[in-house]
Structure 1
Amino acid sequence: MEYFLSALLLCLQPINLILIIGVVTLGIIFGAIPGLSATLGIALLLPITFGLSTETSFIILLAMWIGGVSGTFISAVLIGIPGSSSAIATCFDGFPMTQQGKAGKALAIGIVASFIGTLGSVIIATFLSPIIAEFALHLGPWEYFSLCLCAITLIASLSKGIIFKGIMAAGIGLLIGSIGMDPINGATRFTFGNPYFGAGISTVAQMLGMFAMCQIIRDAAKGQAKMPEIDAGEIKGWGISFKDIFTNIKTIIISFLSGLWIGFLPGMGSGISNMVAYGYAKSSSKDPDSFGKGNPAGVWASETANNASIGGALIPMMALGIPGDGITAMLISGLTIHGLQAGPLFMSEKPELTMLIFVCVIVSAIITFAIQMIFKRWFPYILKIPYHYLYSVILVICYIGGFGISNTMFNVYVMLGLCLLAIFMNVAGLPLSPFVLAFILSGKLERYFRQGISYSHGSYSDFFTRPISLILLLLAVFSVVWPLISNHLKKSKIAKAVSVGESEDINDD
């Protein structure tokens, strides 16, 4: 309780409160505009944190996260284009409600659902993370290696398209992450005689190049740097009543729990949780045919679930040092910049900073709710900001941030190189999520593996004889093998159906 009150007082200091309000507003704008996102916003803010204290750095990074994730539903409701993948399901019923003249109600549902999902999940994470961290302190390098491997294989197997592409992207991430000094004996690897590579590839340069610059180039190349005309109708009043909440309370609770659980699983996040919750809401509804035609339950399900995944993603990040999604991977990078490492030891050694992270998310969620409710009638104007102004500013920030990492042009070149790599991966259909997670976890994966072998005097047996490690390794293997088996079963089923149909045609003849 002492740490909670001190963290709350720190967040409510005038300068910090002004920062939260300002960055949350910026995050809402980034989330609302398709092509921009909370991920991009955090990537742009990371270089700024170099000259700030650890507390201030995390206040602005977390405020950007909450504002950005909560703001994605705005464009989904008003123009039918999601601000990010976390609001895809919101489009299905949010935009039809706008077309029916119910934009105010759809926006109000999105605002309240986002608030419920964020606040509830973070409160649960606040109490659950220390318990998981206490348990994690009893684990050895064998379990941590298996956990990191399981996280990488899980997100690779969930990637869109062929699973081999997800594994290939993860492999490239591990290769890029191994550049620099060996974590055990300090030998340099893949530096090609360049001393700048000795420190490895900067995470900030990687984020700026692969997310910020790549996004701008892709949108400009595809001609997507324009917004359609917005007709939001008349937006006024609060939009909903308590009756609307109680009517959809079952959908809210189920969506909240599914979002929390999916957010907890490494690599899944809000992009999957909103679709899963929407599918459940539709299948359990008494009127499933109304979904996709402006059913408010669809918006409740999607927005509650994608924001509940925030607290779910915080749990493995804080308790285990494993990023739950791409944004928490960036937050772990923010800790690394300030010489800290997320995980169970961080929670026990830095309880005041740990509590600050949870409290800042709660305060940001409340401020986001207030800002969105007060200014929702002006949301259509956010979507009219010209892209050529935004993109010019973002590019300048990218170059300044790349140069500021080491005050040399080296990281600018690295940023440009990784931007080209991201473009190549996009063209080749290789997903970025496995790459980012593997890149972030590469150092831990190698360190825990070699520590486990060293502690076992050169034996690999402990990775398979320790129960938790074995379960995680089996889960990693299953996550890779099951999609292949599933595809084979589907093809066999289709082939069987086709053969049965052909034989029936022959009999008819």
Structure 2
Amino acid sequence: MGVLEGLGLGLETALTPANLLFCLIGVALGTAVGVLPGIGPTATIAMLLPITFGLEPVTSLIMLAGIYYGAQYGGSTTAVLINLPGESSAAVTAIDGHEMAKRGRAGPALATAALGSFFAGTVGTIALALFAAPISRAALEFGPAEYFSLVVLGLIASIALASGSTLKALAMIVLGLLLGTVGQDIYSGTPRFTFGQRELYGGLNFVSLAVGMFGVAEILRNLEGETKRTVTVAKVRNLWLTKEDVRRITAPVLRGTGLGTVLGVLPGAGHVLASFVSYSVEKRVSKHPQEFGRGAIEGVAGPESANNAAAQTSFVPLLTLGLPANSIMALLVGAFIIQGITPGPNVITDEPALVWGLIVSMWIGNLFLVLLNLPLIGLWVRMLSIPYGVLFPAIIAFASIGCYSLGLNAYHVYAVAFFGILGYFLIKLGCEPAPLLLGFVLGPLLEEYLRRALIISRGDPTVFLTRPISLVLLVLAAAAFVLAVLPAVRRKREDVFEDE
């Protein structure tokens, strides 16, 4: 199926009333959680997974994807108006966006964020449409050895790009891999790490782990530091850009879109990395670098375009290789599996309506976001006045009911509580839960491809080195590991020399 035929099928799928409605619901929820700091799209998607079981696969994925890229829009609104980024990728936008707001130019800043995001989202969607099918066809040439090496590369690259301690990120990956081995052996059926509990024979429940680690743990952390919020937002006027504004933002939007399109496919927080890199590039190429940090409109246009383009292209490895680029994509892998669909290179041929419908819905969702964000700015910001003490009990109750409905089994609710407490203590220790989720999702795949490759090669471990593609992927994984470890080693040596 060609790109034009695929887009035609996608339009037919995405424009059904149900899919349009859930696309709108998804982007509206995404905007809301982007505005509200402390909740975030990861926790929201994790808690909404149970209610998507009753929906058609394409409908549920359209809604969940809308929450993800909608949050990138929502985070910029409060970043500009009250210097409070709802999303980590919007932290860069706050630097110059809020300075513009203090000078009475909040309208142009928000218009720049919305229009730049729409353009970048459109380009990112086009890139996804153009490259999804060719990459899927190339991936069909991969065997078990190549897939094993690809998963190893994905895990190592996520460590290299993770923020914070490399050692802790590696520990979280290993813990996730270990949790993924709980249950019956995939070939012999022998129980592993079940401790005699029948509920563990089928493995740990993905939804319970995700809701606990990202929903409950985040709520506990926020409650610890919760303070009363007071929000006063003046009415935003003059949302139109002047000719000078358009001239100044054109090049940054194009550069940010290009950076985001490329960096979005990288494992880890590609959209966050893209926004920071874009800001650095704009400051470096600007003829007036002294304006940055004091209200430069380029400092809003570039990062906002970059993070939204990256949000779209992060779907490329998910839809073509079945590999999640970040924790949110890992949740979407779980959503695929829950719906009985195995993500990977065969999806685009086995489920063309789902893949192309999802791709086209992203463009429709970006259009919805422009219409939602600019006219309803006051509404989104007023949401910050809702006391967190009112929000969190409703969120936990909603998540518990959803998890219980998985199998009408209280065990799933106990699992949510357990992983919530575990996630809270991991956060307190400075460990990111995202690598753990990636390890948990990719662990069973890693084991399956390893054992398949060894069975085919009659137990010869050199199969991973004698196959050229597998060897290249392992060399790249080794290089990524060295890049991740060297800065930590260098800092340790510098600390030793300073002590001497």
Equivalent position of 1:227 in the other structure: 229
Equivalent position of 1:329 in the other structure: 330
Q: Give the Å deviation of 1:489.
A: 4.4
Equivalent position SS for 2:264: helix
Structure 2 stretches of 5 or more lacking a match? none
1:57 correspondence with 2:42: no
Structure 1 stretches of 5 or more lacking a match? 503-509
Equivalent position of 2:360 in the other structure: 359
Equivalent position SS for 2:375: helix
1:145 correspondence with 2:148: yes
Q: Give the Å deviation of 1:451.
A: 0.7
Q: Distance in 1 between matches of 2:281 and 2:42?
A: 27
Q: Is the 8 A contact 2:162 2:268 kept in 1?
A: no
Letter in 1 for 2:402: G
Q: Give the Å deviation of 1:120.
A: 0.9
Q: Distance in 2 between matches of 1:4 and 1:110?
A: 27
TM-score by length of 2: 0.95
Q: Distance in 2 between matches of 1:381 and 1:254?
A: 33
After superposition, residues 498-509 of structure 1 pair within 5 angstroms as none
1:132 to 127, 132, 135: 135
Q: Is the 8 A contact 1:66 1:368 kept in 2?
A: no
Q: 1:160 to 1:336 in 2, by over 3 A?
A: same
The one-character-per-residue Cα deviations of 1:443-484 (angstroms, maximum 9, x if unpaired) are: 101001111111111001111122221122122222222233
Q: Distance in 1 between matches of 2:200 and 2:291?
A: 57
Q: Give the Å deviation of 1:333.
A: 0.8
Please, what is the CA RMSD of the aligned residues?
2.0
1:158 correspondence with 2:161: yes
Equivalent position SS for 1:16: helix
Q: Is the 8 A contact 2:229 2:385 kept in 1?
A: yes
After superposition, residues 40-439 of structure 1 pair within 5 angstroms as 40-224=43-227, 226-231=228-233, 233-241=234-242, 243-439=244-440
The one-character-per-residue Cα deviations of 1:42-64 (angstroms, maximum 9, x if unpaired) are: 11221101112212212221222
Q: Distance in 2 between matches of 1:242 and 1:448?
A: 56
Equivalent position SS for 1:374: coil
The one-character-per-residue Cα deviations of 1:128-158 (angstroms, maximum 9, x if unpaired) are: 0111111010011111111111111111222
The one-character-per-residue Cα deviations of 1:2-47 (angstroms, maximum 9, x if unpaired) are: 4433432333233332332233222211111111212222112211
**Worse-matched range after superposition: 48-57 or 316-325:** 48-57
Equivalent position of 1:507 in the other structure: none
Q: Distance in 2 between matches of 1:334 and 1:21?
A: 19
TM-score by length of 1: 0.93
**Worse-matched range after superposition: 76-85 or 235-244:** 235-244
Q: Is the 8 A contact 2:114 2:374 kept in 1?
A: yes
Q: Distance in 1 between matches of 2:281 and 2:7?
A: 36
Equivalent position SS for 1:406: coil
Letter in 2 for 1:201: L
Q: 1:296 to 1:494 in 2, by over 3 A?
A: farther
**Worse-matched range after superposition: 365-374 or 15-24:** 15-24
**Worse-matched range after superposition: 243-252 or 127-136:** 243-252
Q: Give the Å deviation of 1:418.
A: 0.8
Letter in 1 for 2:229: M
Letter in 1 for 2:99: P
Letter in 1 for 2:445: K
How many pairs are equivalent?
A: 497
The one-character-per-residue Cα deviations of 1:89-123 (angstroms, maximum 9, x if unpaired) are: 11111111111111111111111121122111011
Q: Give the Å deviation of 1:375.
A: 2.1
Letter in 1 for 2:96: D
1:442 correspondence with 2:443: yes
Letter in 1 for 2:423: A
Q: Distance in 2 between matches of 1:454 and 1:310?
A: 38
Q: Give the Å deviation of 1:291.
A: 0.9
Q: Give the Å deviation of 1:494.
A: 8.6
After superposition, residues 6-25 of structure 1 pair within 5 angstroms as 6-25=9-28
- Percent sequence identity is 32
The one-character-per-residue Cα deviations of 1:240-286 (angstroms, maximum 9, x if unpaired) are: 24653342222222211211221111223212211111111112211
Q: Is the 8 A contact 2:27 2:69 kept in 1?
A: yes
Q: Is the 8 A contact 2:248 2:297 kept in 1?
A: no
